[in-house]
Each structure stands twice: as structure tokens, then as C-alpha cells.
Structure 1
Amino acid sequence: MEDQNKNLLLATLLSFLVILVWFVLFPPEDVPVDPNAPAAVTQTEQAPAAPAAAADGAATTAEAEPLPEAPRLTVDTPALTGSISLLGGRIDDLSLKSYRETLDPASPMVRLLSPVGEAHPYYAVFGWGPGTGLTADDVPGARTEWRVTGGGTLAPDAPVTLQWQNTKGMTFTREISVDDKFMFTVKDTVQNAGSAAVSLFPYGIVARHGQPAGLQNFFVLHEGMVSRTDGTLTEQNYDDLMELPVIEREAAQAEVVDATTDGWIGFTDKYWMTTLIPEQGIPFTAVTKYVPSADIYQTETRKPVAELAAGGSVTSTVRLFAGAKEWATIRAYEKDLGIAGFIDSIDWGWFFFLTKPIFAVLHWLNAAIGNMGLAIIALTFVLKLLVLPLAYKSYVSMAKMKELQPELEALKERAGEDKQKMQREMMQLYKDKKVNPAAGCLPILIQIPIFFALYKVIFVTIELRHAPFFGWLKDLSAPDPSSIFNLFGLLPWDAPVQGSVMALVFIGILPILLGITMWLQQKLNPQPTDPVQQQVFAWMPWIFMFMLGGFASGLVVYWITNNIITFSQQYLIMRSHGHKPDVFGNIKSGFKKKEPVPVADKSKKARK
């Protein structure tokens, strides 16, 4: 009796250790805070710094002065609404029409970009850096006030044209256009009507004041700088940017990378992104910068210095993606606009070779079915079908192991406390019966990478955000909102707030179904001969029930479906080999003292 108590205590401690490690690796999401809100409050403004080669070593530093008021142009497209400030021609006021902050249709639209002077400055600005024969006052920058010469409201097929002239006979013209999704095109032209040749270079900047509010700092999710240069994808979080090398000339910490063929650079949140995309095939310089004195994070694209003769002109074009990371939209931009590797701006993670095809199939199924929850269930069937050959061998091995269960129990009785004898005779029995006890691990080993890949897909892709299933499940990217605490809505008080400790204890309907399906599936598997292992395995379904209770409901739907399919496959395969699993007998025995459970052998050999 004392040994049994010790074993039970050990099993309990091991179970809680598993829970502790799991929640360290996969902490629950902080639901009440919007993880995609713009940056923290700062009232500073960063003027662009020029490359040393182009600006004769000149550099600018962050400014803490507020911006003056300036006229604005309206932005109105099927996907976007906002405005453009004529001060710098900056794109700094942008909201996404199709996305709300919460499930409530009346909640505010998600605001992506905000101007300096408001709570969360985050914007894109474009300009020219001075070269030979020019000073900073001779080129348009972040504080240049443009005038409108064409168009009044920026919309698809309705571009706007801005103009500015310096005192040296140079005219700067900027045409800004936008499509029906999230792509802006900024076309800058300079005409030199002066008498002297000059040189200058175009740049684009995406600046973010402070770190984003609700930054999750979760290892499975990348938030921060994302770029591609000459085929190399780079991801740096905000803490990484604070560790960049100091460049005195820039009065900042910065990293400069030259690209020769293709690339893009910007900032990514969980679901949203703002990215500069220079003309592909033309060399440019990608700059990642942090200005400690102003707490500004900045990405830049700088093109080579252009020589502009008297009477000549030069044109530069850069695109700006500012919007939601929709898979179909980004893939279309990659294909139609030739933006190499743009689909990798979505955080596919370490298992990208699984997450990409899994999401592609899920997206197709959702388009065909019209319900993301049903698409997840259909995807589970597809994945189980693909791994069926390996699973078949595993379940056949489990059937044989089940058949050997009475003999293993008899072996255990004969061996007594002699562990070495027990192990030796077990190995001989497996050899004689041609059974591989490790084969039963195959389904688990197969499921691990698939589970993590699907977890990544559900966690980071915007297509799962606010995607409804049925009934109370309004958002498959969030945990099940039902709770035992109020008897799943039958009692007149609210369930605990999602993400709280109470919500992890008082779980919902889906986690309970998960625990039950895992428990039923376990009843088909051979029981370990070691009592401690038996008790640990007996606890596992209920441990996982609580561990996965705080996960996205879409992931729990997958796991429940997977358990049901696995149970059915295993049962049918065992029946096809002449063994009728006594599931209900195993369940009954689970509530009694542990004794060997006979297997109902219906094979031809047994009937003889």
C-alpha cells in the first residue's frame, strides 16, 4: 500500500511538472490587450539620415519638436480609409475597413498608422537626400509642405499629385497611387531647370515611435523588423534593434545592408505589416535603425546617388504595403508585381515546410466549404489520410501488443522484483511474436510536427482571426469562451475572463471533449507494465485537457477530430486483424483495482 502511495505521488508530481514546462513554453495569450495596436506614446520626430557617401558625411538626429498643422488629403479605398499629410507627403493616418478591434461589429476599425502628435505615432515618409551642389534645404524631406496639383481624394484609379520647388530652379513632383487592397505606389520625379549639375538620392522611411502596445514577446511569434535582401530573409525583434551597433554619423544605432537584385523591409505585427518595397532588380540600401534619444524604431530604403545634369530629370518609384497580412493578397503581390519572397513576410516559423502547405490546403478548404471550423475538420481528415500507411503499421503493432497483454502480466508475476529478468523475458517474447513495441509511438511522432505546424498556422494567420464556427464559438483564434464556472452559460453570471487563471481552471466545452476523446483513445492502447507509468498515462488525458484549454479553439477542434479519427481507425484495424478491443471493459476496469484485462480474441486461430 505504501509503495502504491509513493507511485501515485510520483505520478502526480510528474504530471504537474509537465504542466509547468508546457505553460513556460506556451503561455496563454493576453486576450484583453490588442496585440496589434500601434506603438507607445512618444512626441518625437526623426528626420532622415543620409548615407555618408551621398551626404558628404552629414547626418541628422532625432528632434523632439511637435509638428505644425498641415492640410491633408483623404484616402478612401475598398480596404482603407485615412489621410495623407502634405507636411512631408507622409502616409500617417490609416485604418483597415474590413477589420475591427473586437468581435463587436460596432467596435472601432483597426488603426494601422497614426501621425506624430497622437497617441501612437507610426507612419511612412519619403524624400530626397542632398548630394553634390545641394543642401538639406534644397530637397524635400519630412517637414516639407507640398502643394496639391492634381486630384483631391486618393482612391483606386484616382492618384494624387504633389509638387514642391526649391530656390535653385528644381521642381519635385510626387504622384501617389493606391490599389483596392493595401499597396501604395509613390513615384518621385525631379526636373533640374537650373544652370548647374547636382546629385541627390531618394529614400523611404517607415518610423515607429516606441514599441507596440501589447507586444507579446512570444517565441512562436515574430514581431519587429522583417526584411529580405538578395534572397535572405531577416527577422529582428525590438530588443534586437536596441542592440544594433552605434553609428555616430547617424546619431543612432543602425545596421546597413546593400541589396543588388531584390528586397523589401519594414515592420510586422501579428496580423498587420508596413513595408517599403523598392523597384526590384535595382540596387538599394536597406537600413534598420534605432534612435535611443527619441525611442524611435526605423526602417529605410535608400537608392544610389543620381547625377542630375542641368535641364535633366530623374524618376524614382517605391511601393508601400500597409495593411493586413492576408495570404491571398500577399501571394498575388509576389506573383503579379514580382516581389520576390514576399509571402515569407508571414511568419511561417521553423516548420515552414509544413505550415505553408497546411495553410494552403486549409485556405482552399475554407473557400470551398465556407466555414473555417469545418475546414479544420476536413483538413484533419486529409492529414490523417496522408499518414494512414504509417498509422496502419502502428495500429497493427498495437493490436499484437494488446494480444500479448495477458502474457506480459503473467511474465510480471513470474519475475517478481527481478527487473532484469522481466526485461529480458519481455524482449524475448517480443522477438518470438515478431512485435515491435516502439511501433506504437509512430502516430505520436508524426503528430508532433503536424500539431506544432497547425498551431503556428492558427496562431499567426489573419484568416483565423475572428473566424466563427458554430454556436458560441465566434473566434477560432481565441480559446473556448464557455466555462464550467457558469455551467456553460446556464447560470446568470459571466464566465472568467479569457487568459486569466480562473479561465484555465474552469474550462469550457471543447477542452472537456478533448479530455474525453483522449481518454477513450487511451483505452485502446496496451497498458504499460510498470504501475507508475500506468498512473502517469491515466492522468495524461486530463492534464492535456487543462493544458490545451487556453489554446485557440480552432486547434482544440483539430485535436478532438484527430482523436475521434484515430480511435475509429485503430478500432477498425484491430477488428480487421481478428481482435475485438474491449473498450467498455477497459473503461470499467479503470475504476477498479488494476488487474489484467483479457482481450476478446476472435481470430480464426482462437476459434479452432
Structure 2
Amino acid sequence: MFNTLLVNPIFNLLVWLYNIFGNLGWAITALTVISKLVLLPLTLPSIKIARKQQELSPEIAKLKERYKDNKMELAKAQTAFLQEHGIYPALGCLPQIISFLVLIALYQSLNLVLKLTPESLAEFNRRLYVPSWYLSTDSLISTSFFYLNLTTKDPFYILPVVSAAFQFLLSKLMMPDSKKFSQQAQKTEGKTDDLAAAMQQQSLYMAPLMTLFLGFSLPSGLTLYWFLTTLLSLVQYRFFWGGWGGLSDWIESASKINLRKRLNFFNK
């Protein structure tokens, strides 16, 4: 059922794109853009919920402090508080689950193409909807893309490192502005905000490290897909988040340095 509903359609779309572009790298790029556009209606509610929860974090921190000894009452109070502000966390989970299932299907579809061998050719052709797309042992898919062979690891590890860097920027963007977070922490008693800050700091580095590890382990075709997904997510969150989030302090510092350099230039 999963293969019929998700894997095979995505797999056929990838093969169709390859037939259009004649290059697997550009086909993966187009597939990534299409998948992000298709998932956008599911992604937007999650972004809005996360943004709203971030804005309400001072009040949520107060609830956590008030009910720190009673987790059941805390759960009830937090759910009621969020619903008062039009946030239903359960509804926000559904798009994430669907997006995750699509991600698995994309991974499996890419694997079918990247791991194509003469031995697996019959299974490859069996999944295709259009007979004219069938391949033979004399016409396997070309996997060259710039300096990469998309079926093997990046020989220079450029793609994994760049992917990890963009994943770090994405994780930082999704964090609250550090100045605002500090002001919120001062308004609440106890160590609830300190704990939240520590957890956010861990997640900031965990995702890039995982990206780096996977990039060193997976074929560069999958790493290319992950890099493009991260890059598009960064653009998507910046556009719909309505700010720079945790990157605000870096941008402010960079602006001050640039202004200082300009002033020094004119003072010469």
C-alpha cells in the first residue's frame, strides 16, 4: 500500500524528470522543489503553530513553574491555554507525520534509482508506469553531476559540510531571538527557561552533526537531496516566519561591523 500510494508515484516522477533533463542531478533538484511546493500547505500550519508557541513561551514558562510538581495538571493547563489562543498541537502533528511519510517515500524512490544495477533492472522497470521509460542493460541512468558520482559518497566531502552548515543556520533561525528570550527568562521564576535554553542549544548542534554524519555515509545523490531540502526550508522559514529568529543577533552584529567599517573609510 505504501509503495503503491507514495513510493511508486514519486519514483515515476523522478524518472520522468530524468527523461526531461537528461541529468539525474537536475532531476533530483526539480523533484526537491516540487516536493517542497506540494508539502507547503501541510508545512505552513506547523510553522504558524511553532511561531505562535514561541510568542507565548513566557506564559507557558509560568505555567510550567506553577505546576512543576504536578505534570498531569500542567498538561491540562497547557492544553487549555494553547486552545484559548487557537493552537491545537494535535492538528500540528498530522502535517508533520504526512511530511515524514513523504520523506521516507522520497528516500526509497531515490534509492531505487541510485542503486540501480543490471540485476535490479527488472524490478526497476516493473515499477514504471510508461513502457517507453523502460531501461536496458545498455541504457542505464547516467549518475554524473558536476564532480559527483551520485551513487557514491562525495569524494571531497564538500556537500556534507555545506549541508551541515545550512542545517545549522536553519536550526538557529528556528530558535527565538536570544535577547527576547533573555528578557522572557527574567520575567519568570525558577529554572524552567534555563532548561529550555539548554535543550534548544543541544538541538542547535545535534541536527547539523547528524546531517554531517549522514552526508559522510550516504551516496551523494541523497546528500544532494538533503542539502536542497535544507536550503529551501531555510528560505521557506525566513519568508513565512516573519523574522530572523535566532539569527537576529548575528545579523545585528554584522550590520554594526559593516557600519563601523564604512565610518572608518569616510574618516580616512
TM over 0.5: yes
Q: Which residue number corresponds to residue 362 of structure 1? A: 14
Q: Which residue number corresponds to residue 520 of structure 1? A: 169
Q: Which residue number corresponds to residue 570 of structure 1? A: 237
Q: Which residue number corresponds to residue 60 of structure 2? A: 408
The whole-number CA distance in structure 1 between the counterparts of 2:95 and 2:212 is 19
The whole-number CA distance in structure 2 between the counterparts of 1:413 and 1:516 is 35
Structure showing greater relative contact order (alpha-carbon pairs closer than 8 Å, 6 or more residues apart)? 2
- Contact 1:510–1:557 under 8 Å retained in 2: yes
Choose which of 14, 37, 48 in structure 2 pairs with 1:396. Answer: 48
The whole-number CA distance in structure 2 between the counterparts of 1:378 and 1:364 is 11
- Contact 1:458–1:552 under 8 Å retained in 2: no
Q: Which residue number corresponds to residue 37 of structure 1? A: none
The whole-number CA distance in structure 2 between the counterparts of 1:587 and 1:424 is 38
Q: Which residue number corresponds to residue 102 of structure 2? A: 450
Q: Which residue number corresponds to residue 551 of structure 1? A: 218
Q: Which of the pair has more CA radius of gyration?
A: 1
User: Measured at CA, do residues 556 and 443 of structure 1 come closer, stay the same or move farther in structure 2, by a change above 3 Å?
Assistant: farther
- Contact 2:175–2:200 under 8 Å retained in 1: no
Residue 378 (structure 1) aligned with residue 30 (structure 2): yes
What does 1:529-548 correspond to in 2, within 5 Å? 531=196, 533-534=199-200, 536-538=202-204, 539-548=206-215
The whole-number CA distance in structure 2 between the counterparts of 1:441 and 1:517 is 24
The whole-number CA distance in structure 1 between the counterparts of 2:14 and 2:108 is 13
Residue 583 (structure 1) aligned with residue 246 (structure 2): yes
User: Measured at CA, do residues 450 and 441 of structure 1 come closer, stay the same or move farther in structure 2, by a change above 3 Å?
Assistant: same
The whole-number CA distance in structure 1 between the counterparts of 2:45 and 2:151 is 34
1:425 positional shift: 3.2
1:454 positional shift: 2.6
- Contact 1:459–1:552 under 8 Å retained in 2: no
Q: Which residue number corresponds to residue 153 of structure 2? A: 479
1:365 positional shift: 1.8
The whole-number CA distance in structure 1 between the counterparts of 2:158 and 2:27 is 20
Choose which of 77, 85, 93 in structure 2 pairs with 1:425. Answer: 77
What does 1:89-488 correspond to in 2, within 5 Å? 351-415=3-67, 419-442=71-94, 444-461=96-113, 462=116, 467-470=143-146, 472-473=147-148, 475-482=149-156
- Residue 467 of structure 1 aligns with an amino acid whose one-letter code is T
- Contact 1:397–1:439 under 8 Å retained in 2: no
Matched residue count: 209
Structure 1 segments unaligned to the other structure (5+ residues)? 1-348, 483-507, 589-608
- Contact 2:46–2:96 under 8 Å retained in 1: no
1:418 positional shift: 5.1
Query: Secondary structure in 2 aligned to 1:481?
Result: coil
- Residue 383 of structure 1 aligns with an amino acid whose one-letter code is S
- Contact 2:47–2:237 under 8 Å retained in 1: yes
- Residue 481 of structure 1 aligns with an amino acid whose one-letter code is P
1:423 positional shift: 3.3
- Contact 1:395–1:570 under 8 Å retained in 2: yes
User: Measured at CA, do residues 565 and 354 of structure 1 come closer, stay the same or move farther in structure 2, by a change above 3 Å?
Assistant: same
Q: What is the identity percentage for the equivalent residue pairs of Structure 1 and Structure 2?
A: 31
Query: Secondary structure in 2 aligned to 1:387?
Result: helix
Query: Which has a greater percent of strand?
Result: 1
1:381 positional shift: 1.0
The whole-number CA distance in structure 2 between the counterparts of 1:587 and 1:446 is 34
- Contact 2:159–2:215 under 8 Å retained in 1: no
- Residue 448 of structure 1 aligns with an amino acid whose one-letter code is F
Deviates more, 1:412-421 or 1:554-563: 412-421
- Contact 1:402–1:525 under 8 Å retained in 2: no
- Contact 2:152–2:219 under 8 Å retained in 1: yes
Query: Which has a greater percent of helix?
Result: 2
- Contact 1:401–1:526 under 8 Å retained in 2: no
- Residue 394 of structure 1 aligns with an amino acid whose one-letter code is S
User: Measured at CA, do residues 450 and 536 of structure 1 come closer, stay the same or move farther in structure 2, by a change above 3 Å?
Assistant: same
TM-score norm. by structure 2 comes to 0.65
